[in-house]
Amino acid sequence: MVRKEKDTDKIMIAYVLPEGAAEKAGLLAKDYIIKIDDKQLDGLDIQAVVAMLRGDPGTKVKITISRAGQSIPTDFTVTRELVRLTEVPSE
């Protein structure tokens, strides 16, 4: 899940699903997305960013991130997959 920070307008990965596509690719919560498929995100709203990230299962998307403690942006290739949410029983 991604969110747009109010103070900076940056797109941050809020969390990654365990065993999901982002985690498998090496993305971490609190990474900042600066490009998707080499396109800058400046001025895009969160819905446009999410639309760029979504796609058919098995297709790939290149995500360039900025990570705390690293001075240079890093590219990750994510293979899209269906999101499977685990149900939690409740009473």
- Structural domain boundaries in the chain: 2-79
Residue 47: HSE in the Cβ half-sphere, 13 Å Cα cutoff: 0
- The per-residue pLDDT string of the chain (91 residues; one tens digit each, 9 = 90 and over) reads 888 887 778 899 999 998 899 999 999 999 999 999 999 998 888 999 999 999 999 999 999 999 999 999 999 999 999 877 666 666 6
What whole-number distance in Å separates Cα of residue 52 and Cα of residue 38?
11
What pLDDT is attached to residue 88? 63
Q: Which two tokens stand for residue 43?
A: 């001025």
What whole-number distance in Å separates Cα of residue 83 and Cα of residue 73?
26
In words, the CATH class of domain 2-79 is mainly beta
Smallest CA-to-CA distance from 42 within 87, 13, 8, 80 is with: 8
